[in-house]
């Protein structure tokens, strides 16, 4: 718990203001626990109310999203944009379309995004948005009508210098295309820099699709090399999820010499002891939005088991949780440790509960937190913005090389920050402190706190 009285006050105000926002409290508390190590050396934080400002979004927009389904019936969803912090650059962060979306989830994601975006070293502030709309099972025409209605309100809150949304769970190339089309229609202007994750024919960046998964492996590889003099070569890897992040993490882990033996979706998981065949997974998931169960029907020697948490009973050297938040609790973490894993790196946002992280760290596993490990996606979004401003595009190799160097730089930055705080190798503290310092210095310099 927190030692600093100032931080205790800030945290209790966060909880009192929004008692139901459990995920947001969890994300804030983790960061405040890290700040506890430095706050006494910075009386200017309390004097300027810096941390009170830091935990309060600059602006939150909620809006009605009415749309007509294929039966001609009007459906009404709720849309949100949490514009959390713009001290170092325009608000930046994805949109999530999933039935579990609410203000607590989006505030936790927006809060994490501030620090993640700061760690990329690029000039982007923090935001998140989305809707409780579920694209699963909807026709393309329904998704299009929903996206058009969503953008009919969102357009007035975004802009290349104001706020630049992108994808997240449930928002991929199809949704970004429909959203962009509606913005262009309303504004009568082709402003490529208002969204990232765009298609390659209208301003998207090469390697953006691969970036989060590839970046996760680049950072993990650097962590293995520098902290254990080791690599992915010959390692067994378990990856939860089977979306964009999981698929391209698997692709890069394999390219670096690892064997990926399992993937999951929200229904269950597949185990292929011979090594997952990625072309089959891509065909199922990217080809026709199928379920991972289909893999076991198509690949001999693999098995499918209902229930997504069971994936963590499969022994592995490296665990890459790439599904969603709070997937790994204390018991699952103990199983992963007992089975002999050496490293865990978070591809999803906050997939490990705080007790699980403690289990990993106490057992001496390497642990890379999401805000560093999955920053490759948003970093490449910032590279997309850069290309849009230049009206130019880099090759795949150019973007990939920049991504790799950004991820390696993030690792060294957070490792050094952990050392400076006297907790060498605690990358949770390192990421929180390194990410925070840049944003807070910018806030203090601008007198906006």
Question: Whole-number minimum distance, CB 81 to ligand GLU, in Å?
Answer: 12
Residue 445 beta carbon to ligand GLU: minimum distance, rounded to whole angstroms: 24
**Helix ranges (DSSP H) in 258-368:** 278-282, 288, 293-298, 330-338, 354-362
CB of 234 to ligand GLU, least distance (A): 30
Give every CB contact of residue 448 below 8 A, 6+ residues apart in sequence: 53, 87
Single out the catalytic residue among 116, 128, 138, 259: 128
Q: Residue 435 Cβ, how far from ligand GLU at the closest point, in Å?
A: 13
CB 24 within 8 A of CB 108: yes
Q: Which residue is nearest to ligand GLU (CB)?
A: 94
Picking from 202, 256, 220, the residue whose alpha carbon sits closest to that of residue 384 is: 202
Q: Least distance in Å: CB of 419 to ligand GLU?
A: 26
- Within 204-292, residue ranges assigned H as helices are 208-228, 244-255, 278-282, 288
What single-letter DSSP state applies at residue 171?
B
Of 88-96, 227-235, 261-269, 394-402, the window that binds ligand GLU (rule: CB under 6 A) is 88-96
- From its phi and psi, is residue 398 left (phi > 0), alpha (psi between -120 and 50) or beta? alpha
Q: Which of 168, 251, 272, 346 binds ligand GLU (CB under 6 A)?
A: 168
Residues that bind ligand GLU (rule: CB under 6 A) add up to a total of 11
**Nearest distance from residue 93's CB to ligand GLU, in Å?**
5
Q: What are the angstrom distances between the C-alpha of 374 and each of 2, 149, 279? A: 27, 30, 23
Residue 25 or 92: the one with the smaller Cβ distance to ligand GLU is: 92
Asked if residue 94 binds ligand GLU (CB under 6 A), the reply is: yes
Taking contact as CB under 6 A, which single stretch among the options 46-54, 91-99, 148-156, 395-403 is the one that binds ligand GLU? 91-99
State how far the Cα of 369 lies from the Cα of 348, in Å rounded to an integer: 10
Distance of CA 195 to the CA centre of its chain: 16
Of the candidate spans 89-97, 152-160, 177-185, 213-221, the one that interacts with ligand GLU by CB under 6 A turns out to be 89-97
Among this protein's residues, is 334 annotated catalytic?
Answer: no
Distance separating alpha carbons of residues 373 and 359, to the nearest angstrom: 19
> Rounded to whole angstroms, how far apart are CA atoms 194 and 105?
23
In the stretch 345-384, what mask flags binding to ligand GLU with x, by CB under 6 A? ----x---------------------------xx--x---
Please say which residue, 128 or 271, places its beta carbon nearer to ligand GLU: 128
Nearer CB in complex with ligand GLU: 107/145: 107
What does the alpha-carbon distance between residue 106 and residue 274 come to, in Å, rounded to a whole number? 38
- Check binding of 196 to ligand GLU (CB under 6 A): yes
| C-beta separation of 351 from 245 below 8 A | no
Q: Residue 90 interacts with ligand GLU (CB under 6 A)?
A: no
Q: Is 92 among the residues that bind ligand GLU (CB under 6 A)?
A: yes
- φ, ψ dihedrals at 48, nearest 5°: -105, 10
Instruction: Label the pairing between strands 366-368 and 126-131.
Output: unpaired
Q: Are 83 and 157 in contact, with CB atoms under 8 Å apart?
A: yes
For ligand GLU, which stretch binds (CB under 6 A), given 77-85, 86-94, 134-142, 353-361?
86-94
Using rule CB under 6 A, residue 166 touches ligand GLU: yes
- Quote the least distance from Cβ 220 to ligand GLU, whole Å: 17
Cα atoms in the 13 Å half-sphere on the side-chain side of 416: 9
C-alpha dist (Å) from residue 344 to 144, 356, 376, 441: 37, 11, 17, 31
Site track for ligand GLU across 22-51, x = CB under 6 A: ------------------------------
Q: Give the nearest distance from C-beta 123 to ligand GLU in angstroms.
A: 13
Figure out which of the listed residues 57, 93, 110, 135 binds ligand GLU, where binding follows CB under 6 A: 93
- Report the residue number, 66 or 199, with the smaller CB distance to ligand GLU: 199
Interacting residues with ligand GLU (CB under 6 A): 92-94, 116, 166, 168, 196, 349, 377-378, 381
Catalytic residue numbers, as ranges: 128
């Amino acid at each position: 718990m927190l030692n600093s009285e100032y931080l205790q006050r800030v945290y209790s105000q966060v909880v009192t203001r929004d008692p139901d926002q459990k995920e947001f409290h969890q994300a804030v508390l983790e960061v405040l626990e890290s700040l506890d190590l430095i706050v006494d050396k910075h009386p200017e934080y309390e004097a300027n109310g810096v941390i009170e400002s830091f935990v309060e979004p600059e602006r939150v927009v909620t809006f009605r999203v009415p749309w007509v389904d294929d039966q001609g019936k009007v459906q009404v969803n709720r849309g949100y944009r949490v514009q959390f912090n713009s001290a170092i650059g325009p608000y930046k962060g994805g949109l999530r379309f999933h039935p579990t979306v609410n203000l607590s989830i989006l505030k936790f994601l927006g809060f994490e995004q501030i620090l993640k975006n700061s760690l990329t070293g690029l000039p982007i502030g923090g935001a998140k948005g989305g809707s409780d709309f579920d694209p699963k099972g909807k026709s393309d025409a329904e998704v299009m009508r929903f996206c058009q209605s969503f953008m009919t309100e969102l357009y007035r809150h975004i802009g290349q210098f104001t706020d630049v949304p992108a994808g997240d769970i449930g928002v991929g190339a199809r949704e970004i295309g429909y959203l962009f089309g509606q913005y262009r229609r309303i504004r009568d202007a082709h402003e490529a820099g208002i969204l990232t994750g765009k298609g390659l024919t209208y301003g998207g960046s090469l390697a953006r699709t691969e970036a989060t998964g590839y970046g996760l492996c680049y950072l993990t590889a650097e962590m293995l090399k520098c902290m254990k003099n080791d690599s992915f070569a010959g390692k067994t890897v378990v990856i939860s999820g089977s979306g964009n992040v999981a698929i391209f993490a698997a692709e890069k882990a394999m390219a670096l010499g690892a064997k990926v033996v399992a993937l999951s979706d929200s229904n269950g998981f597949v185990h292929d002891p011979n090594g997952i065949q990625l072309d089959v997974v891509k065909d199922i998931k990217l080809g026709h939005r199928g379920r991972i169960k289909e893999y076991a029907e198509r690949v001999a020697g693999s098995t499918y088991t209902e229930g997504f948490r069971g994936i963590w009973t499969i022994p592995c050297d490296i665990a890459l949780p790439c599904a969603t938040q709070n997937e790994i609790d204390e018991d699952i973490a103990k199983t992963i440790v007992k089975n002999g894993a050496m490293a865990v790196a978070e591809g999803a946002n906050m997939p490990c509960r705080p007790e699980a992280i403690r289990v990993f760290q106490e057992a001496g596993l390497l642990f890379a937190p999401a805000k560093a490990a999955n920053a490759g996606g948003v970093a490449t979004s910032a590279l997309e913005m850069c290309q849009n401003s230049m009206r130019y595009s880099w090759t795949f190799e150019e973007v990939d090389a920049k991504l790799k160097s950004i991820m390696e730089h993030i690792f060294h930055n957070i490792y050094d920050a952990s050392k400076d705080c006297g907790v060498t190798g605690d990358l949770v503290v390192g990421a929180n402190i390194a990410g925070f310092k840049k944003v807070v210095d910018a806030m203090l310099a601008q007198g906006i706190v």
